[in-house]
Amino acid sequence: MENSRFLDCLAADFARLRAVVPIDPGAAVPSCPGWTLADLARHVGEVYLHKTLAVREGAEPHPWPPKELTDEEPLALLDRAYAGLLEEFATHRPEDPAGSWYAPDQTVGFWIRRMAHETVIHRVDAELGAGQRVGPVPPDLALDGIDEVLKVIAEYSVAEWGDSFAPILGGSPGRTYTVRADHTQWRVRTGPGLFAVEDGGGDEASDVTVSGPAAGVLRWLWNRQGGGEDDVTVDGAPEAVEELRRCLVTATQ
């Protein structure tokens, strides 16, 4: 996807999130246990501010968030942070350097893509919390989001922070997964200290197959089902499905 397309998606999903939160700011968000819609708005605002500084200063700020942000009204914080993020993106080229936790890509473009995906997932959270039907995710964004969560988030996290996954993968017998969305497919292999992703995979047998429309598969991988027809099929032994699910939950925390 082009960076301009990511920015268009970011704008559309932010607008929807911003419209949904005020419906019931105190409502619980089922996909984010312990959070209300107001908490969700605050979190997204804090994320936007954090990435704004990562672009502006060339390094992610630590510790985070600053204590003073807790006194700011959540929607005001969200609006201010989004405006600042867009301004920062507008004053840099996608290839300009920016600090990020992902060593292979230390550019502004990394954060443009990441914030588009961050926002669509939290837009879904907002709709689930407000009891609204979950709106569609464009197929191109959904397919790219599947690729991102499998490779950039899960595969990279297991390689870099393996100790966090040892309770999940340490006793793994070695499993294979096929993730199929629309006409695109990924092959995942797990084992002790291993979460490897490759494109394609052909018709080889897998321990688990997750298949469906791109938006549904994306939501399944992020554990954001409900609020509409997901149409996702998961075939495989429950313990193998649970291994994949636990890896994804740990990687996306």
pLDDT tens, 134-157? 999 999 999 999 999 999 999 999
Share of the chain above pLDDT 90, in %: 90
Structural domain contains residue 134: no
- pLDDT, mean over the chain: 96
Instruction: State whether 101 and 157 are in the same domain.
Output: no
111 has pLDDT over 70: yes
CATH classification of the domain holding 202: 3.30.1050.10
Strand order in the sheet with 175-181: 194-199, 184-191, 175-181, 208-212, 233-236
- Structure confidence at residue 67 (pLDDT): 85
Of 94, 129, 164, the residue that ends a domain is 129
Structural domain contains residue 217: yes
Into how many domains does the chain fold? 2
Q: Helix and strand tally (H, E) in the chain? A: 9, 5
Instruction: State whether 21 and 115 are in the same domain.
Output: yes
Structural domain contains residue 200: yes
DSSP 65: S
- Structure confidence at residue 5 (pLDDT): 98
Rounded CA-CA distance 222/32 in Å is: 11
Instruction: State whether 162 and 240 are in the same domain.
Output: yes
- Structure confidence at residue 229 (pLDDT): 58
Of 129, 157, 181, the residue that ends a domain is 129
Structural domain contains residue 176: yes
- Structure confidence at residue 202 (pLDDT): 76
- Structure confidence at residue 181 (pLDDT): 97
Of 66, 101, 129, the residue that ends a domain is 129
Instruction: State whether 77 and 151 are in the same domain.
Output: no
Instruction: State whether 123 and 184 are in the same domain.
Output: no
Rounded CA-CA distance 36/38 in Å is: 5
Structural domain contains residue 204: yes
pLDDT tens, 219-240? 999 999 886 656 899 999 999 9
- Side chain identity at residue 140, one-letter code: D
Instruction: State whether 120 and 10 are in the same domain.
Output: yes
- Structure confidence at residue 61 (pLDDT): 87
12 has pLDDT over 70: yes
- Residue 58 in 3-state DSSP? coil
Q: Which of 62-76, 144-158, 168-182 shows the lowest per-residue confidence on average (mean pLDDT)?
A: 62-76
DSSP 97: B
Instruction: State whether 79 and 29 are in the same domain.
Output: yes
Domain of residue 100 covers: 3-129
Instruction: State whether 8 and 104 are in the same domain.
Output: yes
pLDDT tens, 193-223? 999 999 998 778 999 999 999 999 999 999 9
CATH classification of the domain holding 96: 1.20.120.450
Instruction: State whether 98 and 197 are in the same domain.
Output: no
How far from chain centre, in Å, is Cα 13? 13
Instruction: State whether 8 and 125 are in the same domain.
Output: yes
Instruction: State whether 20 and 118 are in the same domain.
Output: yes
> How large is the average pLDDT for residues 84-93?
98
88 has pLDDT over 80: yes
Structural domain contains residue 136: no
pLDDT tens, 30-46? 999 999 999 999 999 99
Structural domain contains residue 135: no
Number of C-alpha atoms within 13 angstroms, CB side, residue 136?
A: 5
Maximal CA-CA distance, the chain: 55
Instruction: State whether 123 and 233 are in the same domain.
Output: no
- Structure confidence at residue 191 (pLDDT): 98
- Structure confidence at residue 155 (pLDDT): 98
